């Protein structure tokens, strides 16, 4: 992970797209730190010190879907939109997008490595699974629940170092220049 600098805004179509991509990358990192306690993350020093979203707010703002649960699809899509997800008409989804296809809802959560498919049976979640990257109709891994972390979070507190558990290790490999 590398914190995006303001100068990079020129490489995006507009500043809104830049801010969205920046948020998605940051939420993805924070959700990985939260969900993968024994993982290795490579970040530069300035990224370590940037402010990050409050993990408790991320967890409490997530949209959760459970197999067998009764849902109202309109309300569920409204919940996704309210936490920053965008509808897509494109064949391929990118992180932070969703698409309704027949009795299924395809979602690419920021906290997942692949698109997730939620099959609906009228007002009930029938099946949830990850799908193959090239063909969203091919099931990959069955899930009992799907937690979709928000993209838009109001409160930023602390930094990445605050998210490390007591056993976390930071290796600083940047060279100090002595004047």
> Would you call 46 helix, strand, or coil by DSSP?
helix
At residue 138 the predicted structure's pLDDT band, cuts being 50, 70 and 90, is very high
C-alpha to C-alpha distance for 169 and 59, rounded to whole angstroms? 24
What mean pLDDT is reported for the chain?
A: 87
Both tokens of residue 75? 């309300």
Half-sphere exposure (CA, 13 Å, Cβ side) for 155?
10
C-alpha to C-alpha distance for 79 and 101, rounded to whole angstroms? 18
What's the average model confidence in pLDDT over 131-145?
Answer: 93
C-alpha to C-alpha distance for 161 and 169, rounded to whole angstroms? 9
Q: Which of 3-17, 105-119, 158-172 has the highest mean pLDDT?
A: 105-119
Both tokens of residue 71? 């849902």
pTM value? 0.85
Residue 35: predicted pLDDT: 82
- Asked if 121 contacts 131 with a C-beta cutoff of 8 angstroms, the reply is no
C-alpha to C-alpha distance for 59 and 77, rounded to whole angstroms? 18
Question: Tens of pLDDT along 23-65?
Answer: 899 899 888 888 876 667 777 777 777 888 888 888 899 999 9
At residue 3 the predicted structure's pLDDT band, cuts being 50, 70 and 90, is confident
Residue 123: predicted pLDDT: 92
Least trusted range by pLDDT, from 35-44, 65-74, 83-92, 122-131: 35-44
Please compute Rg for the chain using Cα positions. 18
At residue 140 the predicted structure's pLDDT band, cuts being 50, 70 and 90, is very high
């Amino acid at each position: 992970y590398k914190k995006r600098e303001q100068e990079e805004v020129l490489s995006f179509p507009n500043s809104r797209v830049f801010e969205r991509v920046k948020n998605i990358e940051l939420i993805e990192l924070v959700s990985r730190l939260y969900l993968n306690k024994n993982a290795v993350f490579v970040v530069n020093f300035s990224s370590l010190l940037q402010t990050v979203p409050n993990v408790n707010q991320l967890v409490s703002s997530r949209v959760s879907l459970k197999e067998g649960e009764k849902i109202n699809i309109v309300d569920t899509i409204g919940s996704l939109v309210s936490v920053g997800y965008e509808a897509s008409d494109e064949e391929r989804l990118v992180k932070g997008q969703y698409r309704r296809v027949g009795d299924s809802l395809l979602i690419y959560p920021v906290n997942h490595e692949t698109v997730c498919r939620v099959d609906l049976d009228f007002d009930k979640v029938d099946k949830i699974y990850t799908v193959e990257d090239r063909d969203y109709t091919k099931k990959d891994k069955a899930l009992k629940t799907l937690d979709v972390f928000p993209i838009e979070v109001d409160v930023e507190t602390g930094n990445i170092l605050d998210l490390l558990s007591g056993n976390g290790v930071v290796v600083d490999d940047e060279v100090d220049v002595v004047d």
